[in-house]
């Protein structure tokens, strides 16, 4: 009996020992956020590579490009589209609908002018008593019906295509609308989460707080943490909201999907060109509705995998991020973007930037101090200020 107890006790100790050894590995990422721990435990700190899409000083490497993914002064028509559905819709609008309604409008206007001049009282003192003409009535009923049917066929086809479920292997992005910022999750990639707040202008923030620069994007569209999606891979977009109805809309993707509390809406799209694309909340959601922009970086699959690794996540089917896997994922990018030690980026004059090296980790939600807008706790204060 004593022997049995000894064996059980030994087994228990062995298990406890395993746990104690495993613990530092699983908590390595958060531990790296504090400089002291990072200094004493350099090995875990190296496990998460630097964000491949940020420069060492935290500025984004992908810069906004005029006419692409953002509004342009004096531009007529729809933004350049980078998804198949978007291009189909743009073509349908520009090549078919606009010419068609132009011809119809001019035809009706011409008929009106002709009737006003040709049949005016001075020119036509004795009006015709004709009450109906069967042939003309059939024509002016049938022709509009045929035109509407001709428009309906591609319209409904496009509508169906927009709500086609994403195929297997799609990258899932869950966007949650909050008053007044967006939070994102990548549930298939280790639960990587990002909180995106609008960057305010230099004069609108207290000294030392990060503000918008031209590298971030246009005024009212730039955000502190951009989300990243791969090019050429179907994206499954899920939207919901934490408080009131919002709408996740990026014009260049031809995407506008309501985000409704208590519901999850779904659509899918595939980005075909790398770049930086901006959007905005498109459902009137309160005082700061106009100040919850969206910024998406579309990058290669390799860069996306490196970014996911930098955020502490993992690609589906890949092994859990270890030092070896992470290094393999980032490759040259990690080598050229040295990790920022500790929790602070170099404080150059100008904007303060979020820590982005080895410590910009699993959950960006945890760093509200770098945001102009804030995590829910400070939301009320911002609401009271009304700016």
Q: Which is nearer to Cu ion, 182 or 307 (CB)?
A: 182
Question: Which of 293, 197, 298, 297 lies closest to 249, judged by CA?
Answer: 293
Q: What is the total count of residues that contact Cu ion (CB under 5 A)?
A: 3
Q: Which is nearer to Cu ion, 189 or 246 (CB)?
A: 246
- Binding piece for Cu ion, criterion CB under 5 A, among 37-45, 82-90, 161-169, 280-288: 280-288
Assess 285 for contact with Cu ion (CB under 5 A): yes
Q: Which residues contact 308 (CB under 8 A, 6 or more apart)?
A: 186, 189, 190, 192, 314, 315, 329
From the CB of 248, what's the least distance to Cu ion, in Å?
9
From the CB of 181, what's the least distance to Cu ion, in Å?
9
Q: Which residues contact 285 (CB under 8 A, 6 or more apart)?
A: 177, 179, 180, 244, 245, 246, 292
User: What CA dihedral angle connects 46, 59, 179 and 203, to 10 degrees?
Assistant: 140
**Sheet containing 181-186: order of strands:** 192-196, 181-186, 171-178, 234-241, 265-270
**Separation of CA 370 from chain center:** 19
Q: Which is nearer to Cu ion, 104 or 290 (CB)?
A: 290
- Binding piece for Cu ion, criterion CB under 5 A, among 67-75, 88-96, 239-247, 362-370: 239-247
From the CB of 283, what's the least distance to Cu ion, in Å?
6
- Binding piece for Cu ion, criterion CB under 5 A, among 38-46, 104-112, 279-287, 341-349: 279-287
Looking at residues 321 to 350 of the shown chain, list those that interact with Cu ion (rule: CB under 5 A).
none
Q: Which is nearer to Cu ion, 226 or 246 (CB)?
A: 246
Count of residues making up the chain: 387
Cis peptide before 180 (omega within 30 of 0): yes
Distance (Å, whole) CA 226 – CA 228: 6
Q: Which is nearer to Cu ion, 29 or 237 (CB)?
A: 237
Q: Which is nearer to Cu ion, 235 or 281 (CB)?
A: 281
Assess 198 for contact with Cu ion (CB under 5 A): no
From the CB of 383, what's the least distance to Cu ion, in Å?
13
Q: Pairing between strand 275-281 and 265-270? A: unpaired
Question: Which of 330, 334, 279, 271 lies closest to 305, judged by CA?
Answer: 330
Give SS3 for 229.
Answer: strand
Looking at residues 242 to 271 of the shown chain, list those that interact with Cu ion (rule: CB under 5 A).
246
From the CB of 177, what's the least distance to Cu ion, in Å?
5
Q: Which is nearer to Cu ion, 285 or 340 (CB)?
A: 285
From the CB of 89, what's the least distance to Cu ion, in Å?
23
Distance (Å, whole) CA 9 – CA 218: 64
Q: Which is nearer to Cu ion, 29 or 259 (CB)?
A: 259
From the CB of 269, what's the least distance to Cu ion, in Å?
20
Assess 281 for contact with Cu ion (CB under 5 A): yes
Cβ–Cβ contacts within 10 Å for residue 260, how many? 17
- Which residues contact Cu ion (rule: CB under 5 A)? 246, 281, 285
């Amino acid at each position: 009996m004593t022997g049995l107890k000894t064996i059980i006790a030994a087994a228990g100790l062995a298990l406890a020992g395993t746990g104690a050894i495993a613990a530092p590995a699983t908590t390595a990422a958060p531990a790296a956020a504090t400089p002291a721990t990072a200094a004493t435990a350099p090995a875990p700190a190296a496990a998460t590579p630097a964000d491949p899409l940020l420069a060492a000083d935290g500025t984004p490497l992908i810069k906004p490009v005029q006419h692409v993914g953002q509004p342009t002064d004096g531009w007529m028509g729809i933004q350049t589209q980078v998804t198949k559905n978007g291009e189909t819709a743009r073509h349908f609008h520009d090549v078919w609908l606009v010419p068609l309604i132009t011809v119809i409008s001019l035809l009706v206007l011409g008929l009106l002018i002709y009737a006003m001049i040709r049949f005016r009282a001075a020119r036509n003192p004795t009006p015709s008593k004709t009450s109906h003409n069967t042939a003309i009535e059939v024509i002016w009923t049938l022709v509009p019906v045929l035109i509407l049917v001709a428009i309906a066929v591609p319209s409904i086809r496009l509508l169906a295509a927009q709500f086609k479920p994403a195929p297997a292997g799609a990258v899932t992005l869950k966007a949650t609308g909050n008053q007044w910022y967006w939070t994102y999750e990548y549930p298939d990639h280790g639960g990587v989460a990002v909180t995106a707040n609008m960057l305010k202008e230099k004069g609108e923030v207290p000294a030392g707080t990060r503000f918008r620069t031209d590298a971030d994007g246009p005024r009212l569209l730039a955000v502190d943490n951009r989300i990243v999606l791969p090019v050429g891979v179907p994206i499954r977009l899920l939207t919901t909201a934490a408080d009131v109805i919002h709408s996740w809309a990026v014009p260049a993707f031809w995407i506008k999907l309501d985000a409704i509390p208590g519901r999850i809406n779904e659509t899918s799209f595939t980005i075909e060109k790398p770049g930086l694309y901006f959007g905005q909340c498109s459902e009137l959601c309160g005082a700061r509705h106009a100040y919850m922009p969206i910024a998406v970086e579309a990058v290669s699959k390799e860069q996306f995998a490196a970014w996911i690794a930098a955020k502490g996540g993992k690609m589906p089917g890949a092994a859990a991020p270890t030092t070896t896997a992470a290094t393999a994922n980032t490759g040259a990018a990690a080598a050229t973007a040295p990790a920022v030690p500790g929790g602070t980026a170099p404080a150059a004059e100008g904007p303060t930037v979020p820590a982005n090296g080895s410590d910009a980790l699993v959950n960006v939600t945890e760093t509200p101090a770098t945001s102009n807008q804030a995590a829910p706790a400070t939301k009320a204060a911002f609401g009271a200020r009304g700016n």
